[in-house]
Amino acid sequence: MNWTTFLALLARDAHVARRNMVPLLLQTFLQPMMFVFIFGRVMVSSGYMPAAYKSLLLPGIMAISMVFTGVWAVAMPLIAEFQFTREIEDRLLAPIEISWLAIEKVFFGTMQALVAGLVVIPMAWLLLRPGVEFNLHSPVRFACVTLLVALFSACGGLALGCSVSQTHIGLMFSMVLTPMIFFGCTYYPWSALGHFPILQKVVLVNPLVYASEGLRGTLVPQFPHLPVLAVLTVLTAFDVLFLAVGLRQFHGKAVS
């Protein structure tokens, strides 16, 4: 491990992010703001949803924002660098092991996902008050779940970015991310699927379920949710799995 090179790569990505600050801010904040306003403000104010839905919705919006940001921040640059700009060839010349190049991408994507998720909380407080209630009884558990969700999104982005070709980007969103969101318990708790017992068990293979339920259990525990300990265990397993798959795919594409 060459820490000087690793930090230089991080500094380079941070410099690129600063130069593209406006598109980055729009990408990070616009989508969760629209979700919060439409579902939490418009639907509730119109009487289609109860006032308590504001608090129920918040963890799901936070999970969606983190997953989209983390996947986009890691997968899209990798797809472009491997298949279009070939910029990855410059990085491969750096005096550092190949795997650490991928880990740097994951680290930077995790930071972006954390920012995108945490900004939802003050945004919701501004747009949804009065009526939105946070009950953060265990800040440590909340921090652990949030970090694991951000890491899962970045590791998932690494695995997808090294596995999907440039021509299949649209397919990635329509066949992977969209079903993940709708069956990820983002707009409803997992217990709401009790009337569909088979579907309720099938969706447990979706890591977004544990992201939404984990944030719900630590941020608004007054609503039904999966046990936080189980969520932490499964999210850790998904993080390790996606990181291992992503590193293997990255190394294979890099050496080829």
The answer to whether residues 77 and 166 touch, using CB atoms and an 8 Å cutoff, is no
* Torsion of Cα atoms, 191 then 228 then 180 then 185, to 10°: 30
pLDDT confidence of residue 28: 67
pLDDT confidence of residue 203: 92
pLDDT in tens, the chain (256 residues): 677 888 888 888 787 777 777 777 776 677 777 777 777 777 777 777 777 777 888 888 889 889 888 888 888 888 877 776 666 767 777 777 888 888 988 998 999 899 888 888 887 777 777 667 777 778 899 999 999 999 999 999 998 888 877 677 777 777 777 888 888 888 889 999 888 989 999 999 999 999 999 999 998 888 888 999 999 999 999 999 999 999 998 888 777 6
Whole-angstrom Cα distance, residue 80 to residue 7? 22
pLDDT confidence of residue 27: 67
The answer to whether residues 213 and 226 touch, using CB atoms and an 8 Å cutoff, is yes
SS3 annotation, the chain: CCHHHHHHHHHHHHHHHHHCHHHHHHHHHHHHHHHHHHHHHHHHHCCCCCCCHHHHHHHHHHHHHHHHHHHHHHHHHHHHHHHCCCCHHHHHCCCCCHHHHHHHHHHHHHHHHHHHHHCHHHHHHHHHCCCCCCCCCCHHHHHHHHHHHHHHHHHHHHHHHCCCCHHHHHHHHHHHHHHHHHCCCCCCCHHHHHHCHHHHHHHHHCHHHHHHHHHHHHHCCCCCCCCHHHHHHHHHHHHHHHHHHHHHHHHHHHHC
Count of CA atoms in the C-beta half-sphere (13 A) of 156: 26
Whole-angstrom Cα distance, residue 142 to residue 217? 9
pLDDT confidence of residue 230: 93
- Please tell me the pTM assigned to this model: 0.87
Count of CA atoms in the C-beta half-sphere (13 A) of 175: 7
Whole-angstrom Cα distance, residue 75 to residue 208? 17
